Structure 1
Amino acid sequence: MEVIAGKRFTRATKYIRAAVIITSVAAIFISLLLASLILFARALGAPPLAVPQSTLFYSGDGEIIGESDNGQKRYWVDLEEISPALIDATIAVEDRGFYRHHGFDIKRIAGAILADIKAMAKVQGASTITQQYARNLYLGHDKTWNRKMNEAFYTIRLETNYSKNEILEGYLNTIYYGHGAYGIQAASQYYYGKDAKDLTLAEASLIAGIPKGPSSYSPFLNMENAKKRQKVVLQAMKDEGKITNELAKKEISFPLVFKRGHKTVDRKVAPYFQDAVMQALKSQLDMDDRTIELGGLKVYTTLDKRTQEVAESTFNNVIEETSDIQAALVSMSPKTGEVKAMVGGRDYAKTPYNRAIQAIRQPGSTMKPLLYYAALEKGFTPATTLRSELMTFQYDDGKSSYTPHNFNHQYADSEITMAQALALSDNVFAVKTHMFLGERALMDTARRFGITTKMSQVPSLALGTSGVRVIEMVNAYNLFANGGREVKPVLIKKIENHKGEVIFEHRTERQQILNPDRAFVMTQMLTGIFDPKLNGYTKVTGSSIIPQLTRKYAGKSGTTETDSWMIGYTPELVTGVWAGYDNAKKITVPAEKTYAKNIWAQFMEESLENKPVKKFKQTDNVVGVYINPANGKLATENCPVKRMTYFVKGTEPTEVCTEHLSEGKTHHSKEKNQEKETWYKRLFNFWGD
């Protein structure tokens, strides 16, 4: 018996020794495997933490005006910009051992396995914050062994390459909180209308419970479940020693104020402008759609919110609701080219077609200032005279003819000055000038002013019969307003990526394109459309809006059968307005013909309200003299009308107006007699007393 017992003992010892050896080998193998995984994870380096994020658009003063519309709201904020209460609540309810484990909570895993075995079903999860973050970043939510193995590997990679705070920050910025809100910043804005850093304990404890089941614990879908979940969160915080029992009871009953809706899209600010920014990102900066939509960019634009609001309200005030006419507006800073306001149509919801940057329409007489600048370069001056009369022009080697007509078929039938021709918008004078300069001169000048659309070398080009874009035409007037320095329309000041790194910043490089003296002379000529002293055979073209204006402006209106324009400026703001039908239908309703001018006048006055009045800065090589507007000669005290007019030094008129000398002598003699008569009467009355 003893022999048998000894054999059994020896056999048992062998089994135990074998088991120990196998276990040791297995432990060593597992340790080596884990060590290899960790080394491999380190060798691969840090996995990228970039996640799809909404691109945000900011106004010129840094206020959010919109975002990329992809159905998912994703914003990234630093851990320091998240409420400590939310951080504590999340860790307490999701992963109490977060700062103690290395990606896996063995005790929780063992407990979950036992609970699942006992219930014969999966009833308890054991995923840590790191595991959930790995799943959100790189994997789906399918329940397969392959996914679980990948999740474990990515968890190791995250833990070996990032700090706990970096992992927690990433997790809180990517977890889904329901209603399209990814990350705590989007969720805070959606549920409470505030930033994540401003969440109270009551707000944080409720929102921290939502990720477990957004469709079950959203307060907007099931308030009762949401409050039960909040109670679980507060209890977990109490168990972790983050809050007292009394505070937990107080916060569960604290009334919450919800502000449902994503903060940035309650109302899309300046939708036409934002579309133009999106187009600029693609065409000017070569960004693809995915980068724009989900790149987490911060796009700082040039938009001035108040100026934009003035533009939109002016459209509503001026254009009758029953009218089908369309309109567009662009307002810019002449010094930088920055677009401060843009309206591409009357109702973006009905038609997102942006007429401010896409439509090509006939500019009419707004083209004349470019023509007359070319004339100044060829020796013309504001006092140059040509005869205004009905006439026909031959062109194309005599094969074709063209007969321009003035508005209402009115003509001076005498010579008028270029200054008056511009103020009255005399078409004959313009075509004569155009033909004298040569038909290519205006087209070449327009290119220097930044006009890129196709133009025809015909006599009618002087009257704006070749189409242009509103934004280009407004930018052309920038050159007059800023003294002749080249600027281009600017919509974007700066772009930051999701890390806050500046990847683009606009820098204005202003090249002198025009002669500054001639640019100033043109500006002073363009003030003439608002000056009744230049009235002649008809009134100046800005006469209808003069009563609305409280400061000095320069500008030009333009009218064709299908298009109505007004472009004008001060030293700090250039604005252009177009009105017309999309199908190029004739404008026949009298009120519709005045929309462009009235929108422009009201917009400029309100935009510049309470701002100091700035004068156009006279250049050193310019001189101002009083002339008789009717003939361009130096005015005398006898001239009934005289107007200060500016010339490049050496080009001012030297001939004195003599038309009113005899009238002046007679008038002077009458005044002397009246003076004597009055003196004698006074003397007689004195002695009579």
Structure 2
Amino acid sequence: MATGMRTGDTSNSPDSEEKNAQLQVSQPVDAGEHLRQPAKLPSYSQAAAAQRLADKPEPLERGATYEASQTRPHEPGWYTKRHLKRKNLRGTNARVAVTTRTSTRTMVSLGISIASVLLVAVIIFVTFQGFANAVNQKYQSRVTTLQDILPKDNLKLYDAQGDLIYQAQDQGIQTSLPLEKISPNLIHAEVAIEDQNFWKNDGYDIAGIVRAAIADLTAHGVVAGGSTITQQLVKNTIVGNHDNALRKLQEIILSPEVTHYYTKNQILDMYLNTVYYGNMVYGAEAGATRYFGLQDTPKATAAQQLDIAQAAVLAGIPSNPALRNPIAYPKNSIKRTLEVLQQMYVQHYITIQQKDAAAQEIQRPGFIKPTYPPQEQAATYVSYVMSELVNDTNAKLTDLSRSGLIVKTALNLKLQNYAQADAKTHIQQMAAHNMSNAAVVVIDQHTGALSAIVGNIDPNNPKYGSFNVATQGYRQPGSSFKPYVYATAFQQGVASPGSMVLDAPLTIPMCCGLPSYQPQNYSRTYGGMMTYRHALDNSLNIPAIKIEQAAGIDQSLQTAEKMMGISDGSTTKAANVFYGTPNISMVLGALSVRLIDNTEGYATFANGGVRVPYHAISLITNQNGKVVFQPNTHGKRVIDAAAAFMITSVLTDNSARYDEFGPCSSLYLYSNSTSQCYAGNPGKITPAAAKTGTSNSFVDNWTMGYTPSYTVGVWAGNNDNSQMINVTGVDGAGPIWHDVQMYLNQGRTNLHFVGAPSSVVKQNGDWVLKR
């Protein structure tokens, strides 16, 4: 192949030129036309190249040589550079492709993530809204009535003078106060340590929750709660204190609702009166008393008297009452109190000087003064009050502890303590007569107020101390029942105090084959003809049987029932007052009766035949001062004034009972000594009507009676119903009755019973019904 010749390129060859010349000659040329020849194009032009596209190179001949150019088409290294460029281009393209694919995937992932987040957010929002709506629907009524559903104060009982005698402690002690009666120091301390944004937040504090969460994570445990005061109030009163996220979420949902319905002062009022301060005390008032011995005064409540140091101690307790109360854990309390003081200073509630002074105060000996509630007083009286409280309020006993009720009773505490001590002393003196117990009831006959109830001489006795003989024990009243029968006869006009009766052996035939009944006097002797006045004053049995026969057993029973509280007098209701079957021996005390009911009957005599229901409770109010209950103190006439007057006339006649009791018995209220009385100098005399009673076999011993002011009933005997030895009413129960009446009437002057009603006149020296 010749050098410089390209294979297949024949355009410039001799043969080619020759052929072209022949072609040109052979073609005719029209006259007048120019000779047309194909344009010759440069071989390097694109058009020439295009014309040659269809040319097929001639096959190479073996052994031939062709001309070829020896010039290099490219400079040295061009192909290497091109290779590297292409390699770099391929790498770049690959990287671009990877980047493109990665970016695409990233954008897709980001889009999916954003969409997922939005979807989750929507789901969470919808779920939260649904949950919030459910929570609001469930608790809305509790939010709007929050002040009504707050934990109530503990039950408190006061005597007639306003002194606290009992408070329920089994479910904690709480005394609610208006916010203005709580020290501002405590308000500032609580806000500073529990909820520094209280006055401006909506019931929850996101910043506080975050701070608490960080503190908990840092300490690897729960060291801060993040709950606002409003949230704590919601927890304590609405949703409960279960330690879980659901409860926390409920707090956050409900707290704005509470903030919407109540002012900040109202929320703080509710919180400070119910927050738990440890040691079974709730609220500022109870805490101030429990830890610092502060007591209410006419000028300020205990909670109003809290200084900065005391307030800081209390404010430090609620976050952990078990471990931060200053009695059991003083070091923990001091550490927490210093934190409270620091926050009060930082938030500008106190100055640095006040902070330092309070920090010194809390570490002084005696700063904490543990003060326990006073011991229960008048245990048997309180026991009866609780039973009466259940009846008056229709509440269960277990529901009364935190009922918020304030009960004013009719109790005269000094009288109660005196009667309790006097009964115990006398029973000890009568031990040789096998007398081991006594009970006392005192009633103001004008109002029905139970001024004292001694249920037994030893309320702390583990064997029988809880049994209240005065209100629970049914005992035979002996001759103390006779005045009811006599009053029936006097009212009917079948007899009068001056009527004559024969005290002689008596035999009463009985029906149905039963042996005849032959009653006996206590002395086993007979007095012959006498007045009913004399017979009743000396407690003779045979005249009593005769007047019962004249008056009628059923009629006499109805009189007793009405005087003791059965208003309609039906015998079917007698089981409420009496125990036993009414029969001819009823006048001698065969029916068992409670001391409190027998005392009410005598109080009806004392009140001229008008019965006023007895009551131990004078007033019940709730903790807001609203009256819940007042007893019925309106009397109802149950026997004629004439009958009541004649009974009083008989039972006050000390001279008429000389035969049985002598001139200076315990039924006679004289101020001087017994020896002076027998010497004819009894001293000041308090008018009193009295009657004794002794049951069969000396099991029960009674003295019942009244002055113009009070009615007193006394029972003496044994809890096991064993017989006493040689004891009469004037010896057993009489001295206690005498002492209590003398105590009640000391210092009283111008005492006298109401005069004779117009329905009676004197005839033959004694009173009779006017005809």
The alpha-carbon deviation at position 285 of structure 1 amounts to 3.5
Q: Could you tell me which amino acid in structure 2 is paired with residue 532 of structure 1?
A: S
Q: Alignment identity in percent? A: 28
Residue of structure 2 in register with 1:394 after alignment: 509
2:19 corresponds in structure 1 to: none
Structure 1: any 5+ residue segments left out of the alignment? 628-632, 635-644, 651-689
For residues 119 and 491 of structure 1, the distance between their equivalents in structure 2, rounded to whole angstroms, comes to: 58
Q: Please say if 1:520 is aligned against 2:645.
A: yes
1:216 counterpart SS class: helix
Judge conservation of contact 1:423–1:541 (CA < 8 Å) in 2. Answer: no
Q: Deviations over 1:617-655 (max 9, x none)?
A: 114416675x9xxxxx44xxxxxxxxxx544445xxxxx
TM-score, scaled relative to structure 2 = 0.74
> 1: CA distance between counterparts of 2:478 and 2:608?
24
- Say which SS state the counterpart of residue 126 (structure 1) adopts: coil
1:164 paired with 2:264, answer yes
Contact 1:623-1:648 at 8 Å conserved across structures: yes
Give the match for residue 722 of structure 2.
585
Q: 1:121 to 1:359 in 2, by over 3 A?
A: closer
Of 737, 754, 758, the residue aligned with 1:617 is 754
Give the superposition deviation at 1:545: 5.2
Report if aligned partners of 1:494, 1:506 keep a CA contact under 8 Å in 2. Answer: yes
Number of residue pairs the alignment of both structures matches: 629
Q: Does 1:182 align with 2:274?
A: no
CA drift at 1:69: 4.4
* Distance (Å, rounded) in 2 between the aligned partners of 1:499 and 1:587: 52
SS of equivalent to 1:566 = strand
Determine whether 1:283 maps to 2:391: yes
Q: Does 1:238 align with 2:345?
A: yes
The correspondence of residues 249-264 of structure 1 with structure 2, limited to 5 A, is 249-254=356-361, 255=364, 256-263=366-373
CA separation in 1, counterparts of 2:511 and 2:330? Answer: 80
Map 1:17-416 → 2, pairs under 5 A: 44-47=140-143, 48=146, 49-51=149-151, 53-193=153-293, 194=295, 195-254=302-361, 255=364, 256-263=366-373, 266-320=374-428, 323=431, 325-350=436-461, 351-379=465-493, 380-396=495-511, 399-412=514-527, 414-416=528-530
Q: Which runs of 5+ in 2 are unaligned?
A: 1-91, 296-301, 566-576, 672-683
Amino acid at match of 1:578: W
> Which amino acid is 1:318 matched to?
H
Does 1:539 pair with 2:646? no
- Distance in 1, matches of 2:175 and 2:533, equals 57
User: How far off its partner does 1:382 sit?
Assistant: 1.1
**Offset at residue 406 of structure 1 (A):** 2.4
Deviation (angstroms), 1:541: 9.2
Question: In structure 1, which of residues 605, 608, 628 is the aligned counterpart of residue 742 of structure 2?
Answer: 605
Distance 1:592 1:398 in 2: 35
Could you tell me how far 1:329 is from its partner in structure 2?
A: 1.0
Aligned partner letter, 1:210: I
Q: Which amino acid aligns with 1:605?
A: M
Q: Is the 8 A contact 1:424 1:539 kept in 2?
A: no
Query: Does the CA contact (< 8 Å) of 2:150 and 2:274 recur in 1?
Result: no
Amino acid at match of 2:182: I
> One-letter code of the match for 2:601?
A
- Normalised by the size of structure 1, how large is the TM-score? 0.82
SS at match of 2:636: coil
CA distance in 1 between counterparts of 2:306 and 2:214 reads 37
Q: Counterparts of 1:428-447 in structure 2 under 5 Å?
A: 428-447=542-561
> Residue type matched to 1:150 in 2?
Q
Q: Please provide the CA RMSD for this pair.
A: 3.4
- Asked if the contact 1:325/1:592 (under 8 Å) is kept, the reply is no
Structure with the greater alpha carbon radius of gyration:
2
Tell which deviates more after alignment, 374-383 or 185-194.
185-194
> CA 1:397/1:26 → structure 2, altered by over 3 Å: closer, same or farther?
closer
Q: Aligned equivalents of 2:183 and 2:475: distance in 1?
A: 54
Residues 1:359 and 1:431: Cα distance change in structure 2 (over 3 Å): same
Residues 118-140 of structure 1 deviation map (CA, whole Å, 9 limit, x = unaligned): 44544433111122222222445
Counterparts in 2 of 1:15 and 1:538: CA distance versus 1, 3 Å = closer
Q: The residue matched to 1:319 in structure 2 has which SS?
A: helix
Is the contact between residue 476 and residue 590 of structure 2 (CA under 8 Å) also seen in structure 1?
yes
Distance 2:521 2:341 in 1: 81
Question: Are the aligned partners of 2:691 and 2:705 in contact in 1 as well (CA < 8 Å)?
Answer: yes
* Per-residue CA distance 1:153-192 (angstroms, 9 max, x = gap): 3434433332222222222222221212122222222223
SS in 2 for 1:253: helix
SS at match of 2:200: coil
The answer for the alignment partner of 1:556 in structure 2 is 691
Q: CA deviation at 1:354?
A: 0.9
Offset at residue 492 of structure 1 (A): 1.9
Once the two structures are TM-superposed, the CA of residue 10 in structure 1 deviates from its matched residue by 12
CA distance in 1, matches of 2:477, 2:607: 22
Q: Does 1:565 align with 2:702?
A: yes
Q: CA deviation at 1:398?
A: 7.2
Assess, with a 3 A threshold, how the Cα gap between structure 1 residues 374 and 72 changes in structure 2: closer, same or farther: same
